[in-house]
Chains A and B, each alone.
Chain A
Amino acid sequence: SQTIHQWPATLVQPVGSPLSLECTVEGTSNPNLYWYRQAAGRGLQLLFYSVGIGQISSEVPQNLSASRPQDRQFILSSKKLLLSDSGFYLCAWARGAGVNNEQFFGPGTRLTVL
């Protein structure tokens, strides 16, 4: 069976510090991978998606970046965090882009920037 892991579960970082969130998927190969953010009291916003190693597409301009160094590893990074980067970060995977492919979400990382 497939599982998706995210770490850390919670993170408190000062403004201006770097960020690295990791997501890994087990039990499948060549998945589509996604990073979403949910700010307090708001809906989920898609940040990045990837259809393969080294292939990253950004949905919204921001000071965050994503990388996919391995098939089942997706990393979200920032060089300097802003207060507005606080939120609940969710990684998801899907077997493909087809409309019948459901997305499976990880447990999330709750980031607080102070």
Chain B
Amino acid sequence: DAKTTQPNSMESNEEEPVHLPCNHSTISGTDYIHWYRQLPSQGPEYVIHGLTSNVNNRMASLAIAEDRKSSTLILHRATLRDAAVYYCILRDLGNYGGSQGNLIFGKGTKLSVKP
């Protein structure tokens, strides 16, 4: 799986939008961009994923650069419950072989939300 680069930490104020960047300059044409987050002392949870077009769901939006070498997870109004470590992960569409769609987690971005 191609590598991703994220800032170690970010801060946000409650009720304000948050833009979490991810660089993936070696992304291949069949790599999907996935985001998971991990709240303190809990297991990770799925946030969103996309391939080329921007994606929206009830949790967040995913903005993907035209060249796909970077993406941004957007939380439209941060709440205290959004404080977590956010992981940007690439998953290969064609990876049905030995790795069976496994997730490879990096260090992620620790998001702090101030009231």
A51 to B102 alpha-carbon distance, docked (Å):
11
Cβ–Cβ contact A44 & B98, under 8 A? no
Total number of residue pairs linking A and B with CB closer than 8 Å: 65
Some 16 contacts from A to B, beta carbons below 8 A apart, are A32-B100, A32-B101, A36-B105, A43-B108, A44-B38, A44-B44, A44-B105, A46-B103, A49-B100, A97-B96, A103-B36, A104-B45, A105-B43, A105-B45, A107-B42, A108-B42
Closest CB of chain A to B49's CB: distance in Å? 7
CA A101 to CA B96, docked complex, whole Å: 12
B42 to chain A, nearest CB (A): 7
Given A32-B101, A36-B105, A57-B100, list of 12 further CB < 8 A pairs?
A: A32-B100, A42-B107, A43-B108, A49-B102, A96-B101, A99-B91, A103-B44, A105-B42, A105-B43, A107-B42, A107-B43, A108-B42
Question: Do A101 and B43 have beta carbons less than 8 Å apart?
Answer: no
Q: Which of A32, A42, A99 is within 8 Å of B93, CB to CB?
A: A99
- Which residue of B42, B101, B105, B107 has the most chain A CB atoms within 10 A of its CB atom? B101
Interface of B is mostly: loop
From the candidates A97, A100, A105, name the one contacting B44 in the complex (CB within 8 A): A105
Q: A92-B43, A105-B43 are in contact. Are A46 and B102 (CB under 8 A)?
A: yes
Q: Give the most central of B34, B38, B98, B107: most A CB within 10 Å.
A: B38
B101 touching A90, Cβ below 8 Å:
no
Q: How far is the CA of A96 from the CA of B91 in the complex (A)?
A: 13
Contact residues of B between 9 and 60, Cβ < 8 Å to A: 32, 34, 36, 38, 41-46, 49
